[in-house]
Structure 1
Amino acid sequence: MNQQKGILLESGTNELELVEFSVGTNKFGINVIKVKEIIQPVAVTPVPHSHPHVEGIIELRGEVLPVVNVAKALNREPQPQTRASKFIVTEFNKQKMVFHVDSVTQIHRISWNEIEKPSQMYQGLESHVTGVIKLKGEMLLLLDFEKIVVDITPEYGVTVEQVKKLGTRERSEKRLVVAEDSPLLRKLLQETLNEAGFYHLEFFENGQDALHYLQSIVNEGTEITDRVQLVITDIEMPQMDGHHLTKRIKDTAGLAKLPVIIFSSLITDDLLHKGAMVGAEAQVSKPEIAELVSKIDQFIL
């Protein structure tokens, strides 16, 4: 897996690599960037009173990591462990966690515009599916791993309490555009940014829709900063990812002056250079909402 990371694509190309894995009869995908390694299952130590989705803990190279059964997280009946079963060791939101799946098959290199947003039957705050990819006549579902983690440990999510510590603030005249594909995160961001004093928020499910909106303002002949003061974007989104959105904004004369903050679970020391390459003014790791608000204040004063 580390070798795969060595060939990851340059920032702003709107492409990614997905690890394909199975749970029951369904095939799913996880961004290679989130994956540290894939190992054979090892003995798991159960933890009394832990969340039902957590099998227990393992020790891996001196670190104690929780193991999540993905079947249980998806409200499926777990299958008996076989020789094909795998542990996917991940790191995102500055947390390391292991996900137990039925098998891991291959890695796909695709474009974000090949990922379709889920149909109505998958949408809603309870959905764990953020995208659908058609590959060789089969459907690969892109899982919202951040939601799985927040379901188990709510304190790892974006919370209003983090913003309340900032005290009373007046930012009601500021207008922000937010690109975030997760319905859960859009709801949480609306609540927390409102608490932070921001009420004029335009939310979009992906970078492509956000870019079209910004371009429409420029095409009207309006100065962009008269209508929008700042853009917040996730990285992983169907149709157009946050790195490509940022690059397109910075490459467009009428939009280039617009500050962009990347707010993503993929902000790590190893990946900061990717956001810097496309011109982002700041990069903040989820769920550090207070840090995000601080950065917003820095660039719109």
Structure 2
Amino acid sequence: MGGVLDNVDQRTNLVGENRLELLLFRLAGKQVYGINVFKVKEVLPCPTLNALPGRNRVVRGVAHIRGGTLSILDTSLAIGKASLGAIDHAFVIITEYNRTAQGFLVQGVDRIVNMNWSDIHPPPRGAGQAHYLTAVTEVDGELVEIIDVEKILAETAPINERIGEDVLGSGASEGGVKKHVLIVDDSVIARKQIQRVMQSLGVETTIRQDGREALDYLLDMVARGEKPAESLAMIISDIEMPEMDGYTFTAEVRNHPELKDLYILLHTSLSGVFNKAMVQKVGADNFLAKFSPNELAFQVNERIKAISGEDLIEETAE
């Protein structure tokens, strides 16, 4: 896998064109899985793992890599399958999600493929709620399953999803000003996390699971004679989504005369300084890395305060 993540600048150019590159890998069987290259920092043969007392059963151990210590998760166990077992010839995909780095143990790494988000689809509706997929696609006639890493991390390393008591003012719990926010995210876990913050602020929400669904929802509002920019305080959108990514969704909104004034906050687990440049390129109003309930609450509060003059949180909170 030497050089598999070279030319990152070239890959960055795909962003904003509804394209992505998937790193394909396998676990114990023939099934192929994928992960967005932009979330991958490094791929390397599995290093020596040290046991961690009291660890989650999914964590095979910790490894010392590049001067730091990372938890290494058995990806097969994490998605409800049998452990990978012997790892003498396994690989570790080091990723950065939600402001932290972690390693995912896999049996083998195949290659990188260039794809269009329109070829990435939500999991089949009959898959139920227990699966760990955020999307599926097909490469060379093979089904590729894209794992919901946010769900795995929520189960193995839960984060505090509540707004701090020093942030949430007494006025918010009494209802506050009722404003409507459109949430666009393909991860069930991420949608629930955002909804909890909105509920704490007394803000109503509408949910859509990808950019295409969200755009259709907005266009339907326009067709009914409604004005989305007046009905919605803001849109909180993920970037990585099947059918249409957040960058393309934002660009489509900005190019529509009836939608162009909508306030869009891009809210994503994708890391990297290029995100700020992309926010400007596609015309989003702001960017926030997942997931900090306090920071998200501040962003929403600032927007609502700007359009209504009402404060949903304590002004003195830091």
* Normalised-by-shorter TM-score class: over 0.9
SS in 2 for 1:257: coil
Percentage identity across paired residues of the two chains: 26
Distance in 2 between residues matched to 1:75 and 1:11, nearest whole Å: 32
Would you say the 8 A contact 2:163–2:293 is kept in 1?
Answer: no
Would you say the 8 A contact 1:11–1:278 is kept in 2?
Answer: no
Which of 7, 10, 16 is the matching residue for 1:7? 10
Would you say the 8 A contact 1:267–1:283 is kept in 2?
Answer: no
Would you say the 8 A contact 2:98–2:270 is kept in 1?
Answer: yes
Once structures 1 and 2 are overlaid, which stretch shifts more, 224-233 or 46-55?
224-233
Distance in 1 between residues matched to 2:76 and 2:198, nearest whole Å: 33
Distance in 2 between residues matched to 1:162 and 1:30, nearest whole Å: 33
SS in 1 for 2:10: coil
Distance in 2 between residues matched to 1:167 and 1:91, nearest whole Å: 33
Amino acid at match of 1:117: P
Distance in 1 between residues matched to 2:7 and 2:181, nearest whole Å: 36
| Match in the other structure for 2:67 | 62
Change beyond 3 A, Cα 1:132–1:262 = same
CA shift at 1:82, angstroms?
A: 5.9
Would you say the 8 A contact 2:14–2:20 is kept in 1?
Answer: no
Change beyond 3 A, Cα 1:176–1:225 = same
SS in 2 for 1:134: strand
Distance in 2 between residues matched to 1:203 and 1:134, nearest whole Å: 27
TM normalised by structure 2 equals 0.88
Report matched runs for 1:119-138 at 5 Å. 119-124=124-129, 126-138=130-142
Distance in 2 between residues matched to 1:136 and 1:108, nearest whole Å: 10
Distance in 1 between residues matched to 2:121 and 2:89, nearest whole Å: 29
SS in 2 for 1:237: coil
C-alpha RMSD over aligned residues: 1.8
SS in 1 for 2:214: helix
Structure 1 gaps, min length 5: none
Once structures 1 and 2 are overlaid, which stretch shifts more, 53-62 or 290-299?
290-299
Distance in 2 between residues matched to 1:84 and 1:248, nearest whole Å: 45
CA shift at 1:149, angstroms?
A: 1.2
SS in 1 for 2:251: helix
| Match in the other structure for 2:120 | 115
SS in 2 for 1:56: strand
Distance in 2 between residues matched to 1:171 and 1:107, nearest whole Å: 48
Which of 13, 19, 24 is the matching residue for 1:20? 24
Which of 31, 39, 42 is the matching residue for 2:44? 39
Would you say the 8 A contact 1:11–1:277 is kept in 2?
Answer: no
Matched, 1:258 2:266: no
Would you say the 8 A contact 1:176–1:231 is kept in 2?
Answer: yes
| Match in the other structure for 2:198 | 193
CA shift at 1:123, angstroms?
A: 3.6
Matched, 1:230 2:263: no
Amino acid at match of 1:264: T
Provide Cα deviations, 1:242-272, integer angstroms capped at 9, x if missing partner.
Answer: 1111111111111111100011111433432
Provide Cα deviations, 1:203-228, integer angstroms capped at 9, x if missing partner.
Answer: 00111010011112223333222222
Report matched runs for 1:150-161 at 5 Å. 150-155=154-159, 159-161=161-163
Once structures 1 and 2 are overlaid, which stretch shifts more, 270-279 or 256-265?
270-279
Amino acid at match of 1:143: I
Distance in 1 between residues matched to 2:145 and 2:106, nearest whole Å: 14
CA shift at 1:164, angstroms?
A: 7.2
CA shift at 1:11, angstroms?
A: 3.4
Once structures 1 and 2 are overlaid, which stretch shifts more, 114-123 or 98-107?
114-123
Which of 269, 275, 282 is the matching residue for 2:279? 275
Amino acid at match of 2:91: K
Which of 167, 170, 173 is the matching residue for 2:169? 167
| Match in the other structure for 2:83 | 78
Change beyond 3 A, Cα 1:276–1:127 = farther
CA shift at 1:163, angstroms?
A: 7.2
Structure 2 gaps, min length 5: 307-318
